[in-house]
Structure 1
Amino acid sequence: MYKNTAREERSVSPGGVLWTVAIAQLMVSLDVSVVNVALPSMRTALGFDESGLSWVVNAYTLTFGGLLLLGGRAADRFGRRPLLFVGLALFGVTSLLGGLAQGPGQLIAARALQGVGAALIAPAALAVLTTTFPAGPRRGKALGVYSAVTAGGAAVGVVVGGLLTEYINWRWVMLVNVPLAVVGLLLAGRHVPAAQAGDTARRLDVVGAILATLGTSLLVFALVRTDVEPWGSAATIGSLAVAAVLLAGFFVYEGTRAKEPLLRLGVLTNRSVSGANIYMMMVSINIFTSFYFVSLYLQEVLGMGALTAGLAFLPFCLGLVVGSLYAVRLLARFEARHLLIVGGIIGAVGMFWFSQIRPTGNFLVDVLGPSLVTSFGIGPLLVPIANAATAGVAPNEAGMASGLLNSARQIGGSIGLAAMSTIALASTDGAPVSDSPGARLTHGYSMVFTVNSGLLLVAVLVAVFVLPRRGPSLGPSPVAQQNGAPGRRPETVGNEGSRS
């Protein structure tokens, strides 16, 4: 079937592959943030209620995070190029459907299917990159570009979302993906070789993926619906109970029945892995909810337009990008655990500053100041978390550890956003009736940032008491490379972890 494999491999253009992967990854990372500044316009146009609005973000991140591990296994099973084609095509079509949505349900369904496409694109694109560029400086540079696109997608997303919403229409935050998907498909067809048929012997753990995705989705649904279904209601208790059964079923199935488990439960007994994933969940909750609630504060309380709100996010986003890149140098001098402790404390201070927002606030004091402090603390955390998440993991399970960390990022952010939406709504309802609408909203947003500050302090405690005190000298790991740290070969990191 692949009789021209050698000729195809010789004709591969590394530059073309890099462009293909960059476009695909930009589209995936862009959609995490591009919709945030358009949320008020979506609510007005389609009639979203306050809790339903969060599903525009959650529907994407839940299916994205819940299916990432399955997407990686599917790329191994069926080949990276076919999965990249299917993912790009699905992403483009569902973006078109979302842009044409006439009601909340249609938009949320389109966002969920976008997440499925993203879960196919992300692991296939990274696998294409790492198999094209041999280990060494060239791969390091390629992964640097990949990481810059991944981190910079959030910064580009808020600005692009503001521009499109302000000067054209909110629908274009969805429709903009259509030409990107077409370009990605054309580049993939031209530059990505069809040389790998995939590992046909590997089974796909579809049951595990379904249990994990349905369980987390139902958990988020129950949390979001507490504004209309009280915590003690049969609907809420029943939803939480079914979610618990599904998630428990996932762990039981992975540990006893799965032939090729998405998650080998023994990995979680590694304190470095489990601690790093808990830490990542706390950080992702802070990042996801910051994008969401700061955007609402800027537009709903301070009265900024979509474009101005998008530009107001730039310092925060750029701080995350610069911090991620600078973390590589910090890791050369300090242990990952120490960076996680110090960065978590700085981030908690920034979030506490955010909690002091005022209904009559201004950009300099209420947004810019806390944005810089928070991003200065959180930005340098991403690479140390990635290093800790793969410390002591066998080389053949580095991919599993990487997928687990990415899933913790996406799913943790979704669950956190659902919970914080409930907290914000309850706090807003509990504000004095005599307060202005802006003051009541600010009261709810302030409570969210206060809780965020506490969660980062919990993350610091995890770094202090859960992560090993004396770990290996953590250079850039396979996952760290994905977050912007070019460096040693994965085999080296895995072996060091094993020796420790």
Structure 2
Amino acid sequence: MARSKAVLWTVLTAQFMVVLDGTIVTVALPSIDTGLHFDSQLQLQWVINAYILLFGGFLLFGGRAGDLLGRQRLFIIGLTLFGLSSLVNGIAQNPETLIVGRAVQGLGAALTSPAVLSIIIVTFEGVRERAKALGYFSAVTATGSAAGMLAGGALTEWLDWRAIFLVNVPIVAITIIGALRTIPNNRHEAARQTRMDLPGAVIITAGLMLLAYGVVNAVDWGWGSARVWLIIAGAAALIGLFLVVEAASKQPLVRLGIFKGRALASANIAMILMTGGMFVMMFFPTLYLAQVKGYGPIEVGLAYLPWPIAMAAVGGVAQKVIAKAGPKLPLSIGLVIVGAGLFHLSFLETDSSYASGILPGMLLTAIGAGFSWASLFLVASVGVRPEESGLASGLINTSQQLGSAIGLATLSSVAAAYTADLIAGGATPNDALVEGFDRGFLIGAVILLVGAAVVIVGLRAADGRHTPRPDEQAERGQTPVINLEPALGD
């Protein structure tokens, strides 16, 4: 048990750092721009986009590589890339170096994050133990983005923007030492006999990166741009080719039959919808507080502080509910609560106060996310073969990243277009900006309700509470999957 706890805290430290870096840069962008003299706003955005592209594009590859090469080995490789690129970013003297460094950081994160979830899945097999571990994992994953706002504001204001990167270096070093001491480099026997499907890996990575590239540029180019749709069409063609290659491969990167499981398929669809609607929480309120209300970097960070606190508090309750009732009920309710929070935020006005305008919606989304995250990750691991635990974690992480990127780009475009129309009609810039945010929040709320409907229809009450015993699976000619049953009798 002590070793399991050491493994858990080692991988959670890495996960928190990876997720934190997705948003810690946001608040520091103006200072980075001043320090390195970017040519344009578009070039500056690549400090974020480069990270998203490599992170989203290589997640599936990273998940499968952990199954084949060993989870500890991949975890350490990913952390090493992440730490070295953080050092390069911290001492960068020009925009090009920083953008390349952020891309390598994204690659390191894509190798590290699936390994984290895979290690948790194979370390904790009982429902109660796994639900508790995934509760911590989901709390770290969900709150890391909000904590990044606070950390970015504090480090930028009190030290320098370079500190947001350099702080990663000692944390990476300590985490690698912890991984070498606590995490075995285990691979399932079936995975030892499998080779990496390089054609499939290259095709799907290129397809996902191309999709992410089109989506992140849609905000600037516009969703009506021919470039956007040509890129998305190219991505769709590559993903289609990937499916053909995998169906014909004797040792595919992704066994397509894995999607026949209702739980895994429903969890991935729900994850895309949840992050697609909810991720605007990390950006619209930031712009509202900074541009409309005049908050400084540290004030914006402090304004987000209730989010991770509420999320962590609810996460403990969610673990107990999941252990007793299974994940379907808390997941369904959680998604509805997140939608309610976004719906409240859709009534923001220019003169709304933080206490009445932002805080209630922030708390509702945090409470809903607290119930939803752990449930989603648990459902995504139900019925998964041990040798495919990395693949399952890569899939759910990919869904999370693609949902975030596509949702944010789409809702930002909708908000920007509506703001432009209002300004053209004579509205003041601030009023038009807030009305654009409101439109984005409202659509996000609808997306969350669709996600709740997917869960209600797609999941069974028993999903996540019981899997067949190994002898039952053998009778059916199935490869034994991770058994979740023993903990039910605890």
TM class, shorter-chain normalised? 0.7 to 0.9
Q: How does 1:383-462 map to 2 (within 5 A)?
A: 383-393=374-384, 397-433=388-424, 434-462=426-454
Select 1:243's aligned residue among 235, 249, 255: 235
Q: Secondary structure at the match of 1:35?
A: helix
Q: Find the counterpart in structure 2 of residue 284 from structure 1.
A: 275
CA distance, structure 2, for counterparts of residue 326 and residue 65 of structure 1 = 31
Q: How does 1:67-82 map to 2 (within 5 A)?
A: 67-82=58-73
CA distance 1:270–1:58, change in 2 (3 Å): farther
Contact 1:166 1:307 in 2 (8 A): yes
Contact 1:222 1:240 in 2 (8 A): yes
CA distance, structure 1, for counterparts of residue 379 and residue 125 of structure 2 = 24
Select 2:13's aligned residue among 20, 23, 44: 23
CA distance, structure 2, for counterparts of residue 173 and residue 203 of structure 1 = 38
Select 1:34's aligned residue among 24, 29, 32: 24
1:112 aligns with 2:103: yes
CA distance, structure 2, for counterparts of residue 65 and residue 208 of structure 1 = 16
Select 1:358's aligned residue among 349, 353, 362: 349
- Scaled by the length of structure 1, what TM-score is found? 0.81
Contact 2:271 2:399 in 1 (8 A): yes
Q: Find the counterpart in structure 1 of residue 308 from structure 2.
A: 317
1:379 aligns with 2:370: yes
Q: Which moved more, 1:152-161 or 1:375-384?
A: 152-161
Q: Secondary structure at the match of 1:431?
A: helix
Q: How does 1:134-173 map to 2 (within 5 A)?
A: 149-173=140-164
Cα offset for 1:286?
3.2
CA distance, structure 1, for counterparts of residue 318 and residue 84 of structure 2 = 38
CA distance, structure 2, for counterparts of residue 123 and residue 459 of structure 1 = 23
Q: 5+ residue gaps in structure 2?
A: 468-479
Please tell me the residue identity of whatever aligns with 2:254: L
Contact 2:138 2:374 in 1 (8 A): no
Q: Find the counterpart in structure 2 of residue 263 from structure 1.
A: 254
**Alignment deviations for residues 425-451 of structure 1 (CA, whole Å, 9 cap, x no partner):** 222322225444433332332222122
CA distance, structure 2, for counterparts of residue 128 and residue 383 of structure 1 = 16
Cα offset for 1:90?
0.9
Q: Secondary structure at the match of 2:251?
A: coil
Please tell me the residue identity of whatever aligns with 1:273: L
Cα offset for 1:375?
1.8
CA distance 1:53–1:179, change in 2 (3 Å): same
CA distance, structure 1, for counterparts of residue 355 and residue 42 of structure 2 = 29
CA distance 1:321–1:50, change in 2 (3 Å): farther
CA-based RMSD: 3.6
**Alignment deviations for residues 364-404 of structure 1 (CA, whole Å, 9 cap, x no partner):** 11211111122222321122223433445556545433331
Contact 1:302 1:361 in 2 (8 A): no
Please tell me the residue identity of whatever aligns with 2:416: L
**Alignment deviations for residues 92-140 of structure 1 (CA, whole Å, 9 cap, x no partner):** 1211222344555543332221121122223445556677789799888
Q: Which moved more, 1:362-371 or 1:165-174?
A: 165-174
Q: How does 1:116-265 map to 2 (within 5 A)?
A: 116-125=107-116, 149-189=140-180, 200-226=192-218, 229-257=221-249, 259-265=250-256
Please tell me the residue identity of whatever aligns with 1:66: G
Q: Which moved more, 1:43-52 or 1:231-240?
A: 43-52
CA distance, structure 2, for counterparts of residue 462 and residue 195 of structure 1 = 35
Q: 5+ residue gaps in structure 1?
A: 1-11, 478-488
CA distance, structure 1, for counterparts of residue 132 and residue 374 of structure 2 = 16
Contact 1:58 1:417 in 2 (8 A): no
Cα offset for 1:176?
1.6
CA distance, structure 2, for counterparts of residue 413 and residue 183 of structure 1 = 30
Q: Which moved more, 1:358-367 or 1:203-212?
A: 203-212
Please tell me the residue identity of whatever aligns with 1:384: S
**Count of aligned pairs between the two proteins:** 471
CA distance, structure 2, for counterparts of residue 456 and residue 137 of structure 1 = 27
Cα offset for 1:190?
5.3
Cα offset for 1:224?
3.7
CA distance, structure 2, for counterparts of residue 395 and residue 145 of structure 1 = 21
CA distance, structure 1, for counterparts of residue 171 and residue 49 of structure 2 = 22
CA distance, structure 2, for counterparts of residue 132 and residue 333 of structure 1 = 21
Contact 1:36 1:291 in 2 (8 A): no
**Alignment deviations for residues 122-161 of structure 1 (CA, whole Å, 9 cap, x no partner):** 3445556677789799888776665554455345323211
CA distance 1:413–1:134, change in 2 (3 Å): closer
Q: How does 1:29-68 map to 2 (within 5 A)?
A: 29-43=19-33, 45=35, 46-47=37-38, 55-68=46-59
Contact 2:63 2:393 in 1 (8 A): no
